[in-house]
Every structure is written in structure tokens, then in C-alpha cells.
Amino acid sequence: MKMKGAEILLHCLQKEGVDVVFGYPGGAVLPIYDALYDSSIKHILARHEQGAVHAADGYARASGKTGVCIATSGPGGTNLVTGIATAYMDSIPLVVFTGQVSSSLIGKDAFQEADITGITLPITKHNYLLERTEDVARIVKEAFHIARTNRPGPVVVDLPKDLMEKSIDFEDNDDEVQMRGYRVMKGVNSGQIINAAEMINQAERPVIYAGGGVIASEASAELKEMAEKMKIPVTTTLMGMGAFPGTSYLSLGMLGMHGTRCANYAVGECDVLIAVGVRFDDRVTAKIEHFAPNASIIHIDIDAAEIGKNVDVDVPIVGQVKEALRSLIPRLQAREELSEWHQTISRWKDEFPLRYGRPSEGRIMPQHVVEKIYELTQGDAIITTEVGQNQMWAAQYYQYKEPRTFLSSGGLGTMGYGFPAAIGAKIARPDMKVIDIAGDGSIQMNIQELGTAVQYKVPVVICILNNHFLGMVRQWQGLFYNGRYSFTDMSHQPDFVKLAEAYGAVGIRVTKNEEVEGALREAFQVTDRPVIIDFWVEREANVYPMVPPGESPLNMLGGELDE
Amino acid sequence: MNKHTLAVIVENKPGVLTRVATLFRRRCYNIDSLTVGTTENPGISRMTIVVEGDNKVIEQVTKQLYKLVDVIKVIDITRESAVDRELVLIKVKADNNVRAEIVQLVDIFRARIVDIGRNSLIVEATGDRGKMDALEDSFRPFGIIELVRTGKVAMVRGSK
Ligand SMILES: Cc1cc2nc3c(=O)[nH]c(=O)nc-3n(C[C@H](O)[C@H](O)[C@H](O)COP(=O)(O)OP(=O)(O)OC[C@H]3O[C@@H](n4cnc5c(N)ncnc54)[C@H](O)[C@@H]3O)c2cc1C
Ligand SMILES: Cc1ncc(C[n+]2csc(CCOP(=O)(O)OP(=O)(O)O)c2C)c(N)n1
């Protein structure tokens, strides 16, 4: 059958199960947009390409599917860069299509030409520049295959305009993807599983350190089974929030720079550390010599290059978390109790709970807002975050019960991620409440997406923890730069309530503790448009506890009872 | 710091060299030399990369290379018994007084004179790195006008 490149593209997307794409049109993608005009694939028009790519990312994180977005050549592509890097750092499967100038013009500095495959080379799992219309089907198939298998990540496909316009005789096939240089990892080394089992069976003070890989591998059930069978306390990374229920008696909360004291102490004292789908990020390990100094380390990761990258491990297990845990669990001898270790941990939990002070007049404690959101949703919601203090409080004061309910830019720390990601998440999971816990600085980075959320009637709730500061940076200036608040004051800001209304969204301002619950309840009632709640929070509240940079995770600042 | 020689088998596609080079730059690995060429299979190219680093670094380099979709195989041939060769072209000052001496040196190194100018010669030589270093040192006193080395290519001995 004669088909245009663009039609073949959409046909292939449908075959991959894509039902929604996020994008923004332009000259070089006109043929694709023309084909979209009467396609059954839903297209969400963002207000900025960065909004489109974060929305596709939020869609992917919330659903477990591969997110798809489209942008035009040149500035369209370069506007995607932050979003692609965000997905790359957090191992999120995306397929990103960019328009390119016609093939005969490539390399001539043509209008709106940018070398997007060159630009995105270090921030993609792989990328393609299409050379022949005949290759569209194969490349789309490969792109999705690469994006979602093994360690997931973003793949960029650059599509010259003429090749999308060109008609060819197209015959579809169901051939398997064939790539000599890329194989899907299967199975795990049974010898290492036996070693790991022995180590865990003998451990007296074991800790599980679980992360984003558990969620990517859909292995939360297995993780829970192992922890409960062996009575092993579990701490998760920021990326692992929800991989293990925060409500479990075995949960230690998050570890690392702004983790709980209990989690950091437990890792400091453990004799066996079971690292599951984690990458020993420096926000977690702090000074590497002081990280889990007494522990033998078991590391399960699908990416062989992660093993031994930052810390030396005793038992490396390369493979899917799910498969590894499934073969490990039957070899573990169920334990009735682990009383001494649990007593120590309970003591830390009692001694060092997360706590915060009282607000000044006309302000609310930001932590209180997060606690209220938890109280009202009982964890049955998807929380997205911006970056900074808001993100840390969202991790600390809310109990995540399920995977894919906490979406946050961990690796890149992209301000402006949370709101567009919330839009994508709500489109993926219309059944769930979706709440963006935001800062007043971050929300202004992609505030234009209010237009998108209003147009498509996406009822997400943005809770701005408005401290009128770039809070996290201010906190560091306060602690480590003698309180010199250099360019972190954000008092010049729009009236967020009026701004919401101008876009056709709902705006609510809250300045008193008593109003917090009412405002949230009101916002949760709205089903046809986004809501901004502008919570005026204590201006100089800090995130505690905290491992100061370069310190041992045992030397945390703040969070003691006598503070 | 020890040097390792990696034979990297890659897809013969545009951009592969950039991918490999970008990886080395981004991860701060030190490339000592890198050569690329075709192989017996037109779809496949072979890179010989000499990289500096301890075993841990080389392990990381290898694993990171494997993550590139276009990389098919990585073989560390440092410890293998292998034949390795470099080709060197040297343009050396050579007036009548020293020509004979240079010709002698060329013989000793089993090199060849491939161009004769009025006051210079171009010498071509192949051999392993050590030999090429020695050759370079020996010609230096005469005055090297221009020198180019290809970087190393290598192949494991026997039927492996
Ligand atoms: C302001 C700020 C403060 C932060 N503070 C903290 C903090 O206090 N504590 C904290 O934990 N983080 C913190 N972070 C986040 C931190 O930067 C990292 O993003 C995070 O620690 C990484 O989480 P992870 O180890 O789970 O790895 P991820 O980035 O989620 O990586 C997942 C790992 O699992 C592997 N994997 C993927 N899929 C599979 C699979 N199917 N099977 C097996 N393995 C798989 C991958 O190869 C990778 O190694 C902070 C971020 C910001 C922006
Ligand atoms: C795009 C981007 N620019 C700059 C930073 C550095 N940065 C990290 S946190 C932060 C402050 C965030 O302020 P706000 O959104 O108001 O959140 P708060 O910390 O006050 O909760 C800044 C500027 C970043 N992470 N991302």
C-alpha cells in the first residue's frame, strides 16, 4: 500500500500501543501533524515543548508505559533538552520525535536546523536520524524496544521533513527487533543468588536499600515478600518512594541527605546491605568512605555498569530486580524475629522522629500542608513535585503506599518538572487524584501549562508551598554562606490566585492553619479544571534533618528532639 | 597508570565514532590512541582504543561501551598474545652529509624511504609501539620536520 512516511509513523505508534502523544507543532513536523489531524491517537497540545516532554515523562512514570512526545526542528528540539535529560537521569522510557529540515538541507545551516541527535547524544539511551522513509517502521520498533527494555531511558528519533512527506510502498511485518549490539537481559547468575541468600540468612543487622529499579521492574510485591519473610527493615531512595509501603512497620523512610536519621543510622550500622535497583547516588552515600562501613553489600541492578561504579560490592547480581528476588526468596529461611536489631531501630525511630516547629503569624508550616494532603488522601493519590524544599517535604511527610505514586525529578533535579508531569500523570490515570507539591520558584518555570490543563480539563491540584524564596538555595546560603541571601528572594511574584483565574483555572490562597484542610477539600471537588492553592508558608523553614555536604551520613544536622 | 588495548567491534554506521568519543569525554576516560577501520565484514568496523587506567577504570569503560547500542563486542587484548602495529611517516632533514647515516638507520628499523626531496626524506615504518618510539628517538637528532603516527591496531594471535 502507498503510504506517506508520516502515516507509517502513526501506524507504527498505534502498533506500539500509543494512545496519547504530547507535542507542539512547527514547520518541520507539518507532515506529521497533518497525519495526526485524522488519526485516532490523541494529541495533547502543550504550551512549551518542555511541558510536552515532562508530561510524556509523567505519563510514563504514572502508567509504566513509554511516554511519547513530538516537537519541531531547531528550537522545538532544543526546548526538549531539559526534559530528555530529566528522563535520562531517572531512567524513564520515552520516545521523542523531532522534526528535522529536509534531508537535502541538513548540514547547510538551514532555517531552524539544529543537530538534535548530536545535542542529545549524551542524554539519550540511543538516538536516530532517519535517512530513508523505508526505515521508519524498523526505527520506531527499535526505539520503543530500546526505551523500555533493560535499563529504561529516552530515545530520540529525528525525522527530516521530506522523508515524512514521501510516499512509499509500505508493507507491514511483525518481525522481531534484530540488533547485534543490544540484547534484552534475561535470567540471573544462580551462583550469586546462592551467595546472596547465604549472606542474608546469616545477617544480624540487615537493611534493604531500594530504589527506582524496583519500580521499573514492577517488583514491589517481591520486595515486600522478601522484607516480610526475613523481617528486614527497608529504606528507599527518593526515586524508590512507593516501591515499599511507607506505612509498613519495616519502613525506615528515605535515606540520604534529607533522609530520616533512623534510615541513615541503620545503613551506618548494618552488617548486610541489600541494594535493590539503586545507583549509590552521592545524595544517598554522602562521603563514600562513611557509607555502610560495616556492611557486606549485595547489589541487584540490570545495568552492569552500575555495579562497582561508586562503591565496591561483595555480591553483584546483574538482572531484573523481579527475577532476582523471585529466585532469591525461596532460598531464604524465614525468620520469626530479629529482635535486637528491631529494638535498636525502634529506639532511633522514637528518638528521632521527623519534626518541625510552629509558624509565625500569617504563615503555615509547609510540612503541615504535606501532612494534611496525606491525611485527606490517605496515600490514594499521585504526588508530583517540583524541586527544592517542597520536594523534600513531599518525600518526608507523606507515606507512599504504592509504586508510581511519587513522581519527582531526582537525578537532574529539574525545577518546573512537577506540574507538566502531573498533567501527564492525570491523563494516564484519570481515576487518581493528582497533586503537584510545588515551590513558588519552580512553578513559575512551567506555569504556562495551565493553558494545557484548562484546555483539556485536566483537574490537577497544584499546592504551592510559597515561601517567597528559592527556599532550598536560601537554606544553603543560610547554613553555609553566612546567611547572605544572594538572589534567592522571590517576593516579586504574580498573584497566583489571579493568575489561575486568568487562565480559567481555580485559585485559592491560604495563610492560616485552619484554612488548610478546607482549601484542600475544595480543590479535590473540582473535576473539570486545574486548581492552584497558594499556601503562604513559613518563609525561612528549613528541611531537616540534613547531611551537610562532604559529611558522613551519621553526622546529620537538625531534627533532634531538643531542637 | 597502565595502558590497555581494547578491540571494539562496532556497527559500521555514521555517528558511531562520535558516540564512542562522546562517551570517553563525558566519563573522563583518557584515550591514548584510537583507530577505526573496516573489517572483513562490510557492516562492521573495528576500533582499536588504547586507554589509560587501572583495572577498575577499564572495567567501567568496557561496561559503558557495551551500553552503546552500536557496540557489538569489546575485547581487552592487553594481556592476550597479540600482534600490534603502528604505521609512522617521518619527514626528516637529510642533506648529503647525513643521508648515508639515515639510510643505515632505515635499514636497521626495516623501514622504507618513500619520498626523496632535496633536503629531506620521508621514511615509512611499521612496528609495535616500542619500536616506533625508538625509531622516532633515533631520527630526532637529524631534525624531524613532520611526523605522523596512525595509532595502534592489534589482533590476537592464533585462531581465536
Ligand atoms: C534537591 C534534591 C535532594 C535530594 N536528596 C535525596 C536524598 O536525601 N535521598 C535520596 O535518596 N535521594 C535524594 N535525591 C535524589 C537523588 O539525586 C537520586 O535521584 C536518587 O537517590 C537516585 O535513586 P536510585 O538510587 O533509586 O536510582 P534511580 O535513578 O531510580 O536508578 C535506578 C537504578 O535501578 C536500575 N534499574 C532500572 N531498572 C531496573 C530493573 N528493571 N531491574 C534492575 N535494576 C533496574 C538502574 O540501572 C539504576 O541503577 C535528591 C534530589 C534532589 C533534586
Ligand atoms: C532548572 C533549575 N534551575 C536551578 C535549580 C537550582 N535550584 C535547586 S532548588 C532551587 C530553589 C527552588 O525554589 P522553589 O521552587 O521556590 O522551592 P523551595 O525550595 O522554596 O521549596 C533552585 C534554584 C534547579 N534545581 N533547577
Burial readout A542-561 (b: 16 or more C-beta within 10 A, e: otherwise): bbbbbbeeeebbbebeebee
Residue A362 Cα to ligand 2 midpoint, Å, equals 24
Asked if A137 contacts A8 with a C-beta cutoff of 8 angstroms, the reply is yes
Chain B interface, mutation test: which of A146, A150, A182, most B Cβ atoms within 10 Å? A182
Mean pLDDT of B129-142: 94
Q: Check if B2-76 and B83-156 are the same fold.
A: yes
pLDDT at A560: 62
Asked if B118 contacts B94 with a C-beta cutoff of 8 angstroms, the reply is no
pLDDT at A558: 87
CATH number of A366-536: 3.40.50.970
d(CA A342, CA A344): 5
CATH of A190-351, one of 3.90.1150.10, 3.30.450.20, 3.40.50.720, 3.40.50.1220: 3.40.50.1220
Distance in Å, alpha carbon of B115 to nearest chain A alpha carbon: 38
Q: What is the ipTM of this complex?
A: 0.92
Chain A interface, mutation test: which of B20, B22, B69, B74, most A Cβ atoms within 10 Å? B69
> Would you give per-residue pLDDT tens digits along chain A (563 residues)?
899 999 999 999 999 999 999 999 999 999 999 999 999 999 999 999 999 999 999 999 999 999 999 999 999 999 999 999 999 999 999 999 999 999 999 999 999 999 999 999 999 999 999 999 999 999 999 999 999 999 999 999 999 999 999 999 999 999 999 999 999 999 999 999 999 999 999 999 999 999 999 999 999 999 999 999 999 999 999 999 999 999 999 999 999 999 999 999 999 999 999 999 999 999 999 989 999 999 999 999 999 999 999 999 999 999 999 999 999 999 999 988 778 999 999 999 999 999 999 999 989 999 999 999 999 999 999 999 999 999 999 999 999 999 999 999 999 999 999 999 999 999 999 999 999 999 999 999 999 999 999 999 999 999 999 999 999 999 999 999 999 999 999 999 999 999 999 999 999 999 999 999 999 999 999 999 999 999 999 999 999 999 998 888 889 998 765 44
B83-156: what fold? Alpha-Beta Plaits (3.30.70)
Is the domain spanning B2-76 CATH 3.40.50.1370? The answer is: no
Give the chain A residue whose CA is nearest to the CA of B59: A305
Extract the C-alpha cell encoding A353. Answer: 522522629
Q: Is the CB of A435 under 6 A from ligand 2?
A: no
A333 flagged as catalytic: no
Rg from Cα positions in chain B: 18
Residue B12: pLDDT over 70: yes
pLDDT at A559: 72
Looking at chain A, the domain(s) classified CATH 3.40.50.1220 span 190-351
pLDDT at A155: 98
Looking at chain A, the domain(s) classified CATH 3.40.50.970 span 2-169, 366-536
pLDDT at A337: 77
d(CA A73, CA A117): 11
Q: Domain residue spans in chain B?
A: 2-76, 83-156
Is the domain spanning A2-169 CATH 3.30.420.40? The answer is: no
Per CB-CB distance under 8 Å, the chain B contacts of A309 are: 60
Asked if A40 contacts A86 with a C-beta cutoff of 8 angstroms, the reply is no
Helices and strands of chain A, counted as H and E runs: 22, 20
Distance in Å, alpha carbon of A221 to nearest chain B alpha carbon: 29
pLDDT at A562: 43
Residue B7: pLDDT over 60: yes
Closest C-alpha residue for ligand 1 atom 30: A212
Long-range contacts at A353-356 (CB < 8 A, ≥ 24 apart)? A354/A253, A354/A260, A354/A396, A354/A397, A354/A559, A355/A559, A355/A561, A355/A563, A356/A541, A356/A544
Four-CA torsion A239, A88, A133, A184, nearest 10 degrees? -60
